[in-house]
Amino acid sequence: MNNYFVISILLLILNINETKQENKVAYFASGCFWCVESIYENLKGVSEVNSGYSGGNTINPTYREVMSGLTGHAEAIEVIYDPNVISYETLVNVFFGSHDPTTLNRQGPDSGTQYRSIAFYKNFNEKEIIENAIKKLIETKTYYKITTEVKKFNKFYVAEDYHQDYKKKNPYNPYIMNVSAPRINKFKMKYPELIK
C-alpha cells in the first residue's frame, strides 16, 4: 500500500512536469515597433518583448538601413510568452485586433514596407492558426480584405538599445503621446481581460 502511494505520487509529478511547457517565442510586425512592443508587454503571460527587424534579407540591419526601405525588413517584435497562461492563438487575435491589417505598407501616419503587417510562423500549427484567424475575419466581414503577409520566420535582429521599452523611457515623446498611447489605450479597452 505504501509503495503504491509513492508510485502514484511520482507518476503525478512526472505527468505535471510533462504537461507544463516552457516559454515560447512568437514574432509579429504591425507598424511602429514602439507601439507594438507596448501592446504585447501589457498581456498576461508575456514575460518579455523585444523590438527588432525581420522579414528581409540584409544581415544585421541598422535602424537607418531599415528605414530606407531597401533591406526588406519590417519593424517587428519578439514575444516571449508562457503557453500555460496565454495561447499562440490569443497572441494572433491580439495582433489582428490591435492594428489595421487592411492597409498595405502603412500603419497610421507611418508608411513604407518597413511598416507592413506580417504574421510570422515557425511551424505548420502556427501557420494554420494565422490562416484560420484571417479566414474568420473575412467570413465575419470584420474586414473585406487583409494585406497581412503570412510568412515563415527566418531571422530576428534585435534593434538598437534605445528602441527597447521606448514608450516607458520616453512617455512625453510627441509620437508616443499622439500615436502610440492612443493605439495602446484602444487596445486595452478592447481586451481588458488580457491585461496584466
Is residue 63 in some structural domain? yes
Share the mean pLDDT of the chain: 92
Query: Range with the lowest mean pLDDT among 1-10, 52-61, 143-152?
Result: 1-10
Asked whether the beta carbons of 8 and 153 are under 8 A apart, the reply is no
Report the pLDDT value the prediction gives residue 12, as an integer from 0 to 100: 52
Residue 167 lies in a domain: yes
Q: What is the pLDDT of residue 128?
A: 98
For residue 139, pLDDT over 90 is answered with yes
CB 27 within 8 A of CB 54: yes
Which of 25, 27, 31 has its CA nearest to residue 117?
A: 31
The DSSP secondary-structure symbol of 23 reads P
- Confidence band of 141 (pLDDT split at 50, 70, 90): very high
125, part of any domain: yes
- Look at residue 16 and tell me whether its pLDDT is greater than 60: no
The Cα–Cα gap between 52 and 35 comes to 12
pLDDT in tens, 19-42: 456 999 999 999 999 999 999 999
Least-confidence region, from 3-17, 103-117, 149-163: 3-17
Catalytic residue among 26, 28, 31, 32: 32
Cell of 142: 470584420
Beta strands in 38-159 (DSSP E): 46-54, 74-81, 106-107, 110-111, 117-121, 149-152, 156-158
Sign of CA dihedral 163, 173, 115, 43: positive
For residue 2, being part of any structural domain is answered with no
What is the total count of domains within the chain? 1
pTM of the model: 0.87
- CATH number of the domain enclosing 110: 3.30.1060.10
| 81-134: pLDDT as tens digits | 999 999 999 999 999 999 999 999 999 999 999 999 999 999 999 999 999 999
Q: Is residue 9 part of a domain?
A: no
- The question of whether 32 is a catalytic residue gets the answer yes
* Per-residue pLDDT at 18: 45
What is the mean pLDDT of the segment spanning 174-184? 94
Per-residue pLDDT reduced to its tens digit, 127-136 = 999 999 999 9
Write out the residue range of the structural domain in which residue 28 sits: 21-194
Q: Residue 174 class from Cβ within 10 Å (0-12 exposed, 13-18 middle, 19+ buried)?
A: exposed
Average pLDDT over residues 136-165: 97
| 1 within a domain of the structure (yes/no) | no
